[in-house]
Structure 1
Amino acid sequence: MKKFLSILAITILFSCHNQAQTNTKQKAVIDAEPVVVPLKDGKARAYFASGCFWCVEAIFESVKGVEESISGYAGGHTENPTYEASNTGKTGHAEAVEIIYNPEVINFTTLVDIYFGSQDPTQANGQGPDHGSQYRSIIFYQNDEQKKIIQDKKAALAKELDTKIAAEVYPFQKFWIAEDYHQNYERLHPNQGYIRNVSIPRLNKFKTKFPQLLKDDKKH
């Protein structure tokens, strides 16, 4: 009886944890037609989720051709998500970044390379010490060309590593900008414990791997 109750408890916990990603509203997000974000002042936009948005924002902002990286939420079925709501795992959203970039300097293909090259591509539902559906890896496409680039890169990486790649592939729908205090968090709080122990080491690992992509002021 005790064993049965333990199994039942684990099953319920697992079901609750994944409900946000398997309910009908979330399925509608995954099956939707992608939304195309038009160029604005010659700048394009791309959207990625790869663990804590503090880390991802800083990585992309170090890259030549990236004008700005904004922290927020994407991939879910809930309107107006907040940090607190997202952290419950029930909104369907993941912490994500909006990358504003100059397509004459850097293209979408290179952004995808940066995305996969700046994370543990095999870790599901999280990155590093951050665990939960709100930290899962998602890469968003806005058209069939981008979708093919993502799928080809993902398949090649899976073959190279001989393992499953965790990143989900979603049609882009909407990006919700996070609260003001999350923006530029790593730059504004360099001595905060998480930043020192997780974000900065992750950024430095990326910089070592892709030195040719860095802005001149980010090479040191």
Structure 2
Amino acid sequence: MKSFLSTLLITLLFSCQNTAQVNKKQQEVINAEPVAVKIKNGKARAYFASGCFWCVEAIYESVKGVEESISGYSGGHTKNPTYGSSNTGRTGHAEAVEIIYDPKVVSFETLVDVYFASQNVTQVNGQGNDRGSQYRSIIFYQNEEQKQIILKKKEALAKKLNVKIAAEVYPFQKFWIAEDYHQDYERLNPNHPYIQNVSIPRLNRFKAKFPKTLLKDNH
């Protein structure tokens, strides 16, 4: 009986963890120095993972100052991840978005606010029914200033809600663009059942709680 309980305890321990982190290569990604992406044509880039990228892409594109949101993969230890390989949970990658924005209109700090306001901040390894390490929540930082912004906001939110915030904080390394059919999915496939039943309701919940002055009128 004691042996059974010990085995059960170990199983539960690992099942509650992010399985993408239980290997040496993934730990090296977490401990790496961040890679900074240079501003190009006045536009900066930021990277977030928050469940299905179909949902997150549309959320960020509703924010003033965001020029484009691109779906892809980041946070893992393998090269050239695909939708199929990331879904195995063995690449370490999560579905992520690259946010191209005008820092004169919207700050990185506000983009982090968008991140926390648009998800279930306590759910580990997923959002809603999308579950697995490929759907886990990660905020990527490119320098120490961004890291401190993230950590302070995460700590303040945890204290305000009196909960543990699930989002992990990673040094940005590389963003791999997803397959073409994933891009602008909500806009191009408005009648898809997932878009109707998951993406649009999630977008509307976000818009209902976020300051209207920070949102675009036509999204």
Give the TM-score normalised by the residue count of structure 2: 0.93
1:215 corresponds in structure 2 to: 216
Q: What is the deviation of 1:159?
A: 0.2
**Distance (whole Å) between structure 1 residues aligned to residue 118 and residue 197 of structure 2:** 16
**Distance (whole Å) between structure 1 residues aligned to residue 80 and residue 14 of structure 2:** 26
1:118 corresponds in structure 2 to: 118
1:92 corresponds in structure 2 to: 92
**Distance (whole Å) between structure 2 residues aligned to residue 114 and residue 99 of structure 1:** 12
Q: What is the deviation of 1:166?
A: 0.2
Q: What is the deviation of 1:4?
A: 3.9
Contact 2:141–2:170 (CA<8 Å) still a contact in 1?
yes
Aligned amino acid, residue 25 of structure 1: K
Q: What is the deviation of 1:18?
A: 4.9
Quick check: 1:167 aligned with 2:167?
A: yes
Equivalenced residue count is: 216
Root mean square deviation of aligned Cα: 2.1
> Structure 1: any 5+ residue segments left out of the alignment?
none
Contact 2:19–2:133 (CA<8 Å) still a contact in 1?
no
2:189 corresponds in structure 1 to: 189
Contact 2:18–2:125 (CA<8 Å) still a contact in 1?
no
**Distance (whole Å) between structure 2 residues aligned to residue 96 and residue 159 of structure 1:** 26
Quick check: 1:60 aligned with 2:60?
A: yes
Aligned amino acid, residue 212 of structure 1: T
Q: What is the deviation of 1:20?
A: 2.9
- Alignment partner of 2:145: what SS? helix
2:102 corresponds in structure 1 to: 102
**Distance (whole Å) between structure 2 residues aligned to residue 212 and residue 40 of structure 1:** 26
Runs of 4+ that moved beyond 4 A? 12-15
Aligned amino acid, residue 157 of structure 1: L
Q: What is the deviation of 1:183?
A: 0.2
1:70 corresponds in structure 2 to: 70
**Distance (whole Å) between structure 2 residues aligned to residue 119 and residue 181 of structure 1:** 24
Aligned amino acid, residue 178 of structure 2: A
Q: What is the deviation of 1:51?
A: 0.2
CA 1:77–1:197: 2 relative to 1, 3 Å = same
Aligned amino acid, residue 107 of structure 2: N
- Alignment partner of 2:140: what SS? strand
**Distance (whole Å) between structure 1 residues aligned to residue 131 and residue 13 of structure 2:** 15
**Distance (whole Å) between structure 2 residues aligned to residue 213 and residue 59 of structure 1:** 12
CA 1:167–1:12: 2 relative to 1, 3 Å = closer
CA 1:215–1:153: 2 relative to 1, 3 Å = same
Q: What is the deviation of 1:176?
A: 0.2
Quick check: 1:136 aligned with 2:136?
A: yes
CA 1:19–1:124: 2 relative to 1, 3 Å = closer
**Distance (whole Å) between structure 2 residues aligned to residue 18 and residue 36 of structure 1:** 26
> Structure 2: any 5+ residue segments left out of the alignment?
none
2:149 corresponds in structure 1 to: 149
Q: What is the deviation of 1:31?
A: 0.1
**Distance (whole Å) between structure 1 residues aligned to residue 22 and residue 76 of structure 2:** 11
> Which residues in structure 2 correspond to 1:28-47 (within 5 Å)?
28-47=28-47
Aligned amino acid, residue 33 of structure 2: E
Aligned amino acid, residue 170 of structure 1: Y
Q: What is the deviation of 1:19?
A: 4.5
- Alignment partner of 2:202: what SS? helix
Aligned amino acid, residue 216 of structure 1: D
**Distance (whole Å) between structure 2 residues aligned to residue 145 and residue 12 of structure 1:** 36
